[in-house]
Structure 1
Amino acid sequence: MGDRWQLLDRPAEYRAVRTALTNSEGGGAVLVGAAGIGKTTLSKLVTSALDAPVRWVACTESSQAIPLGVFAPWIAPTASRDPIALLGSARENLLAEPHTVIGVDDAYLLDKLSATLLHQIAVDRAAPIVATVRTGEPVPDAVTCLWKDGYLERVELRPLTKQQCVALVETVLDGTLEGLSADVMWESSIGNPLFLRNMVEGAVEAGTLTEVNGVWQLRGPTAVPSGLVSLLECRLARFGEPVMDTLKMLALYEPLDIDVLADLVGEDAVDAAEISGLIRTSSDGRSVSACFSHPLLGDVVRRRIGTAAARKRRGRIVEMLRDQDLSIASHRIRLAQLCVDSGQAIDNDLLITAAKDAVALSNLPLGERLARAAFERGGGLSAAEVLCRAVLWQGRPQEADDILADFDPDRLDQLELVQWGIPRASVLFWSVGDVARGHEIMALLGDRVEHPALRLVIDAANAAIAVHENKITEGIEAAERVLAEPSPPKQAIDWAAFALGLSMPIAGRGADFAPIAARSRSQQKTTDGMIRDMVRYGDVMALTLVGDLDLAEQRAAEYSEFSSCAQFLGWAIAKIGCSAVATYRGRFREAITSFEQALAALNAESALPWKLPAQLLLVRAYAALGDAAEAERVLAEADEHTGPQLALHEPQRMIARAWLAASSGSQHCAVELARKAADIAHSAGQYALEAEALHHATRFGDRTVARRLAALVGRAQGPVVAIYARHAAAFERSDTHALAAVSVEFENIGLLLSAADAAAQAVPIHDHAGRRRLSAQAAARALDHAARCDGATTPAIQAAAHPLPITDREREITALIARGLSNREIAERLCVSVRTVEGHIYRACTKLDAADRDQLATLIWGDLTR
């Protein structure tokens, strides 16, 4: 991997250094920056491109102890020991060749005599100089004067941007880096190229950075390899034991309240560590905390702490923290971690609460670890319930079911029944697919639980189940009743919002979901972070389906902010929301990249059912770009998620198939599938999706759905359905003025590919009427919008781009010929006779003067992959 690391372009800094070195008046540059920032690499990159000899010297702490130590190779053996004579000899030999460039690496380590020589050369403009200096280190006055007095240009090298870091890592790994992993790497390396390289190589070596379906994911702690350890330990070696004592405490518990840290190691030690730049402080308005100035320092310091010493130190920290405010979730989680790691006693209720906190933050691996520790310490059903949820979300349903299977419901009270029954029913219903058994458990709870608050939790969970079975009206009504209660339990609120987030947007009530989403956002604590993330996904889809794409995109970005790789499942759900908005906007390449990252993050031992919405939208993105093969692959993967527990998604599945058919040239089939999607959606009360499916049918060439869309205008909130209806009516009447107007409406709302289709559908109408100029204008508009959608293609756009005197059916049949189908196979696919197919081929050949069916397909479709 080492030979693949490259310095990313730093064009501004490169130009500055090169200009300073090639200045006719001499001079040069001093590159200043942190260790590992790339000073040496950049300076050598510049000098290697110069047509001049370069004399490079590298300063070290050992050379600093020797007068003229780094310039010793240029001192004549016979030179006098007199300092002036030594300076003269070194200078004469250094500059013996004309136009020599002097390069000094780590110039802050120059001894006084060497610094004097460099200063003289600069003052005399005897040779261009390029030197590097590390920030935070004492620099000899003679070197500082080089840029202060204007002899050399000071060039500051700043950390790489996040975009540069990602590009560098993806170049090295030759693959896509998951967004969440990229965030963590960038924050951990602080944009330092050397730190980034060591982090990536260490993580690959440790197996925490791995490739899943073409996406590189960081899972687990970052690993610091020996090379970086040596670099950081050299820095640490300069500090005394009090500072190291401070760092060791912080390495075991970070961030740490500064007053607690001072009580543990002393104020002087804390101040010394801060002044040395090893730690930094921050305030949250209530307290001041200390943490490492660089995240990787903690990993290096932890290597210096043995197991026994670590347990003892953790014990001291635990004693100091037992009296802290445990009403704060982060305090509970970190104290629980510390106690588990050190073997310190901790109240099991506190440990279970910390596990719930971790799950609420979507940190499922941590939640599992803490819940398992509580379960093994006799935490009973309370610990088992949290452990089950943490394991279930991570795609291990059998293990999740086994955790609860040993509990006898006949021995449980009402609260315990709910704690046991809802997670077990969730496992059976969603992940195992045993719908009947899931309903049996929910019925058991309904029969035995009488407490009003607990019954609300059951009702809300049943609402979510009903929604997934495509009983939309029933699910919405049940969830709304729960939320209408004066003070429903938080768990009931979460389940009800989950049910409504998946149902209201597709039912055409996206605007009604806004206050529910706001209530969920304002809730201080959720019972399950993944359910909260699903609710947020519902918020994004509600805004998307009502046509407020700008706010949908803003919310999706806000919901995607996670800080730990352990939150990868929550991040993946949020990323699906971002990808969905990008798909509707027509940013298909962005959507594909995001979807593939999210699906890779959701990879698990058992296929996770919540991958399905992403897969179905991803099919549409691939199909829009004409990549039928990839669309077919994703649709085949989506077909493993079927059954009554996922009936909610059947209209989207049909829409995905319609898009695949359209991208394959089967326009008639695409229309039929879109209509079928609309029928399924209508029967379930998914009126927004019914309208969308009918809109797709219109785009694929259906002129019969205008009345049906008009009837949906009053049943779906937002302006989108009304625009769909106007589009269908305009297309049915062949009204080019109305098609042009509706194209503008689609563009204004952000649906660019729909705008392209509306414009494209006017092209053949203008052609038929002989309006060539208007036809060209409509085609240009359609193709411009298609280009803005990453070159997307649809049947209407294809027809506008290649206007031919053939019918839609003839075009569809020639597309199937281009894909290698025989006349009989085409007839079977289109449900017509072979003679009908042959007749269409004959008429198309006559129109285009084609000799045979193969030439006909080539004329229309070119090199379409078979």
Structure 2
Amino acid sequence: MDRTLDVAGDALRWLDLGRDVLIRGEEGSGRTTALDDLVRRATAAGTHVLTLRASHVPEAPPLTPVLLHELTRSPRTGGRTPVPELVDVLAEELAGRRNVLAVDDLDHLDPATLVVVEELLRRTSCLLAATVDSAVLEGPARRTLAGRAPAEVAVAPLGEPGTAALLRERLQGPPALALTAALLNQSGGHPAVALALLDAARWSGAADRVDGVWDLVGPLEEAPLDAAVHALTRRLDPRLVHALTLLSWTGPVPAADAAELTGAALFDELVARGRLTVSAADADGLVLVTPPALAHGLVRRRTPAQARHDDAVVRAHFGDDYAPRPHTAVDAAVPDTLTWQLAAENPSAAWTSATAGLLLDRVSVQRAARRAAWREAPTVRHAVALLDAFSGAPDRSLVRDVLAHVSRGPDDDPADLARLLEQQVQWSAWADEDPGAVVRTAERLDLRAGARTPLADARELVAAARAAVHDGRPDEALALLDAAEGAPPEPARAAVEAVRTDALLFDGRVEEAATWARAHLAHAAAELDAAAVRAHTSTLAGLQIVSGRGQDAWPWLSVALRLGLPGPFDDPMPLRVVPLGAVVHARAGDLPFAQLLLRELDHRDLSGDPLLRALTAWAQAEAHYARGEVDAGNRLLWERGLEAAEAGHLTAAMVCWSWVAWVYPADRLRVVLDRFPADRLALFGPVLELHRALTEGPSGAVVAAVGGLRSTLGPAQSRVVLDRLTELRAHEGLPPLTASQVSEAAGVPGGRGLDPSVERAASGTDPLSDREREVALLARAGLSNRDIAARLFLSVRTVESHMYRALRKLGLAARTELATDWDPDAG
């Protein structure tokens, strides 16, 4: 999901195979940290490591990394030692077996030091572990490695969980999702840039602690960006920086135009260095300066002379009428740039970043364009467009401005007038404006209260269809949508399309739902419609998680989270990404990020959306399971399911009852099955059949039910299945089965059915770390997580994470089993 490579761990695996390894990543990406982690872990495992670090001072004397090494500064060598003797000293240190030469920034070593490295590799049997930047390895360093054929491990950009962990460590406290998403969007997942932006936000007052949580309290755009720019450009030739500045000012342009503006050689080098991203694989792909903080910072730093130069270059290429970052130009340039990967099951991280970057840029440009149009002519039509553009980020001053200055225009029509009245009533109530101001504006413009608009009709349709889905009648929802006449108006189109995805999904037509959602996501991406992309990525993520493919959902969740949560006038459906993301991360053991997401729902009113309330309960239960609190999670889901069923919200009830991690008592199973409308909520049929088999047996029925599942259960549910199978098979005189044996017996491919982590735990091949063992022993003695945290001087969340991993490795479902089913002396 996020930085899926354990960089140091993967590099060590190559070393264990006797292969040199390069850790590749741009400066500030964390490659040095990964190398240090490798050194620490290799040393702990009994491997001797000698480390050299390149100097980045341009005029540093030759051999500086060697001369400054502690071995060569010893009395044995004196102050001025010939190179052969230096090599002798280092070679003696690397003599024998299990030695590694670790070199930080191999591609920045001076030629003389490279000669030493080459000689050490030739004279000893040591392996090489080195960091290099993200560009293609060239020059002397490449020749030094000729014939050794090193493996490579790349340092991936941070995603939401990694960024949250980085911020939590720096702030010594939890960050809010808004702050995390804003810094991730602006940094592009670059750790050094994210930290520079965090410091800038704190310095400017844009980030501050609110109720114990670090949140975004002001516009990040106003924070100083110099540190971020410096982190990304300090080693770039001035010509490259000038080219980046030019493209930052123009905004997204097709690759062919960008190459002509900067020169092909500079363009290619900037792409190779990762400072430019091309959103598609051809000349029509849009070019973005990466990360966005670099583009914004470079534009701010332009001198008047550079601004005149850039203006002349751009106008010579595009013509005198060209305006930088024009809304129409961005729209016209895109038809295929974002859709080219949508056919893939798992879009790449580059697609995720490019999608979010282009959409957020388009939103920014669109808002600026509509604000400019409003200021030029404050008509009703321009007022409606302006308020729609800011629906996700409302501004009280905007409401007051519109109320005070809107006037009738020659292009206004009755629909515009009726829509403006709807908007003003909503916004004024939200902004605590005097209701009389709305009345006075309506009278002044002759706005007709009660006038129907196509948008109001479309929203009623969405509400009716969504209610049918919530109440377990997806077939009726589809009938309502099919009976609607005409295309819905633009602001409601995505909501109408998304509720059809829901209806198809819960009706059991999963592939049809996926095809529908992907097609409309492609359309929304081609139009750079951020709200529609957010809606469809949310439904795609939900589709994959609810149907059991949670690991495939993260690209969609990531896009939706980066685009921001719904505002007070947006359709609330995309808010589902919050509990859905929490489910995925709780199951993966990342409790801090799961809790960060769930905290976003603390102050939201969920009463009007039964499905969102059920998904939130599911996420909270998965967090309980991850902490080993299985009974608490099951109790929450059972009670929330009963509440939903009694209110007639059967879909929400089945979400809760399907994902409990227990063997249902017979009387409770009967309550569930009696409520289940099998002919209308087919999605839940396979998992409820598994629950029936777990309660009633025999073991063969359980195995068969596992074979009928669409995909993988979570670890807590998988543990229950394995334990119940063991119990049933013992009664039948049969031996227990592992997770892979269950999948094989069920006739499903590997990776489906039961969570593979249960298999690893059952095999006992993944030992507890020292800290996990310490936490488990204290929990076995009866201490709570809070008590353990106080005893070990850790945070409660850190203890929860250690407890989760310990239980998974031991193959236990709950912490209470530490006292009964774990022998610490046995390992």
User: What TM-score comes out, normalization by structure 1 length?
Assistant: 0.54
Give the corresponding residue for 2:155: 159
Q: Which among 458, 472, 477 is matched to residue 460 of structure 1? A: 458
Residue in structure 1 matched with residue 250 of structure 2 by the alignment = 253
| Shift in Å, 1:331 | 0.7
Q: Partners of 1:360 and 1:29 in 2: how far apart? A: 38
Inter-CA distance 628–470: structure 2 relative to 1 (3 Å threshold): farther
1:617 is matched with which residue?
Answer: 615
> Displacement of 1:54 after TM fit?
8.5
Equivalent residue, structure 2, for 1:383: 382
Q: Could you say what secondary structure the match of 2:247 adopts?
A: helix
Deviation sequence 1:526-561 (CA, Å, 0-9, x none): 8975467457656776888xxx7147x588546425
Alignment of 1:558-569 (within 5 A): 559-562=556-559, 565-569=562-566
CA contact (8 A) 2:658 2:687 kept: no
Matches within 5 A, 1:468-547: 483-484=482-483, 487-491=486-490, 494=493, 497=496, 500=499, 504=503, 514=513, 520-521=520-521, 523=523, 529-530=530-531, 533-534=534-535
2:645 pairs with 1:678 = yes
Against the structure 1 CA distance between its residues 206 and 387, is the aligned structure 2 distance closer, same or farther, given a 3 Å change threshold?
Answer: same
User: Shift in Å at residue 494 of structure 1?
Assistant: 1.9
Answer whether contact 1:388 1:404 (CA < 8 A) is retained. no
Aligned to 2:762: none
Counterpart residue identity of residue 159, structure 1:
V
- 1:232-247 to 2 correspondences below 5 Å: 232-236=232-236, 238-240=237-239, 244-247=241-244
Q: Which residue in 1 is equivalent to 2:684?
A: 720
Q: How does 1:15-54 map to 2 (within 5 A)?
A: 34-36=26-28
Alpha-carbon contact 1:385-1:420 (below 8 Å) kept: yes
Q: Which range moved further: 301-310 or 171-180? A: 171-180
Amino acid across the alignment from 1:549: S
Report the alpha carbon displacement of residue 260 of structure 1 after superposing the two structures with TM.
Answer: 3.9
2:343 alignment counterpart:
none
Match in the other structure for 1:371: 370
Mean CA deviation greater in 270-279 or 283-292: 270-279
Q: 1:488 to 1:382 in 2, by over 3 A?
A: same
For 1:799, the equivalent position in structure 2 comes to none
Per-residue deviation, 1:382:
2.7
| CA distance 1:607–1:618, change in 2 (3 Å) | closer
Q: Give the deviation of 1:249 after TM superposition.
A: 1.0
Distance 2:212 2:707 in 1: 34
2:647 is matched by which residue type in structure 1?
I
Cα distance in 1 for partners of 2:359, 2:24 equals 44
* 1:549 counterpart (547, 571, 574): 547
Q: Given that residues 623 and 660 in structure 1 are in contact (C-alpha distance below 8 angstroms), is that contact kept between their aligned partners in structure 2?
A: yes
CA distance in 1 between partners of 2:122 and 2:398 (Å): 75
Q: Does 1:417 align with 2:417?
A: yes
Report the AA paired with residue 557 of structure 2. S
Task: Classify 1:420/1:528 alpha carbon distance in 2 versus 1 (closer, same or farther; 3 Å).
Answer: farther
Q: Find the aligned partners of 2:153 and 2:681 in 1 and give their Cα distance.
A: 53
CA apart distance, 1:600: 5.1
Residues 406, 109 of structure 1: CA spacing in aligned structure 2 closer, same or farther, 3 A cutoff? Answer: closer
C-alpha distance in structure 2 between counterparts of 1:543 and 1:276, whole Å: 35
Distance apart, 1:305 and its partner CA: 0.9
Q: Which moved more, 1:374-383 or 1:214-223?
A: 214-223
Quick one: distance in 2 between partners of 1:725 and 1:109? 61
Give the secondary-structure state (helix, strand or coil) at the position aligned to 2:59: helix
Q: CA deviation at 1:460?
A: 1.9
Please give the per-residue CA displacement for 1:622-668, whole angstroms capped at 9, x wherever unaligned: 3576699999xxxxxxxxxxxxxxxxxxxxxxxxxx9899459xx9x
Secondary structure in structure 1 of the residue aligned to 2:559: coil
Amino acid at match of 2:460: N
What SS does the aligned partner of 2:680 have? coil
Aligned partners of 2:380 and 2:416 also within 8 Å: yes
Q: How many residue pairs get matched?
A: 679
User: Counterparts of 1:435-834 in structure 2 under 5 Å?
Assistant: 448=451, 456-464=454-462, 483-484=482-483, 487-491=486-490, 494=493, 497=496, 500=499, 504=503, 514=513, 520-521=520-521, 523=523, 529-530=530-531, 533-534=534-535, 549-550=547-548, 553=550, 556-557=553-554, 559-562=556-559, 565-569=562-566, 574=574, 576-577=576-577, 579-580=579-580, 596-598=595-597, 614-622=612-620, 662=635, 670=639, 677-681=644-648, 686-689=649-652, 703=667, 713=677, 716-718=680-682, 720=684, 736-737=696-697, 741=701, 745=705, 748-749=708-709, 773=731
Which structure shows the bigger proportion of residues in helix conformation? 1
The one-letter amino acid of 1:718's match is A
- The 1:309–1:460 alpha-carbon spacing in structure 2 relative to 1, beyond 3 Å, is same
Cα displacement string for residues 736-785 of structure 1 (whole angstroms, at most 9, x for unaligned residues) = 45899479648843677889999999999x9xxxx99479999x99xx99
Q: AA paired with 1:383?
A: H
Whole-angstrom CA distance in 2 between matches of 1:581 and 1:29: 34
Change (3 A) 1:595 1:56: closer
Match of residue 765 from structure 2: none
How far residue 582 of structure 1 moved from its aligned partner, in angstroms, is 7.9
The alignment's TM-score, normalised by the length of structure 2, stands at 0.56
Instruction: Find the residue that maps to 2:487 and give its secondary structure.
Output: coil
**Cα deviation 1:552-578 (Å, max 9, x = unaligned):** x58854642528945454999657258
* Residues 505 and 542 in structure 1, CA contact (< 8 A), matched pair in contact too: no
**Alignment-mate amino acid for residue 415 of structure 1:** A
2:458 match: secondary structure:
helix
Which of 1 and 2 has higher RCO (CA within 8 Å, sep 6+)? 2
Q: Distance in 2 between matches of 1:588 and 1:492?
A: 35
Q: Distance in 2 between matches of 1:210 and 1:325?
A: 34
CA contact (8 A) 1:687 1:716 kept: no
Q: State the 1:416 CA deviation.
A: 1.4
Residue 843 of structure 1 corresponds to none
CA distance in 1, matches of 2:25, 2:257: 34
The one-letter code sitting in structure 2 at the alignment partner of 1:720 is F
- Structure 1 residues 144 and 707, CA, compared in 2 at 3 Å: closer, same or farther? closer
CA distance in 2, matches of 1:703, 1:127: 66
CA drift of 1:191 comes to 7.2
Q: CA RMSD in A?
A: 7.3
Q: Measure how far apart 1:619 and its partner are.
A: 3.5
Who is 1:640 aligned against? Answer: none
- Residue aligning to 2:342: none
- Alpha-carbon distance in 1 for matches of 2:90, 2:498: 80
> Residues 186-265 of structure 1: matches in 2 within 5 Å?
198=196, 201-202=199-200, 205=203, 220=220, 229-230=229-230, 232-236=232-236, 238-240=237-239, 244-261=241-258
Gaps of 5+ in 2: 73-78, 95-100, 335-355, 744-752, 759-815, 820-827
* Percent of residue pairs bearing the same amino acid type: 15
Query: 2: CA distance between counterparts of 1:608 and 1:359?
Result: 31
Larger of the two Rg values belongs to structure: 1
Q: CA deviation at 1:265?
A: 5.9
For residues 380 and 358 of structure 1, the distance between their equivalents in structure 2, rounded to whole angstroms, comes to: 31
User: Any idea what the Cα deviations from partners look like across 1:245-265, whole Å, max 9, x if unmatched?
Assistant: 433211213443355446656
Q: Distance in 1 between matches of 2:383 and 2:103?
A: 63
Partner of 2:377, secondary structure, is coil
Superposition deviation, residue 159 in structure 1: 2.5
Residue 413 of structure 1 and its aligned partner are, at CA, apart by 3.8
What displacement does 1:500 show?
4.5
Aligned to 1:63: 60
| Per-residue deviation, 1:718 | 1.3
Is there any run of 5+ residues in structure 1 with no aligned partner, and where?
A: 1-6, 77-85, 336-356, 632-657, 792-858
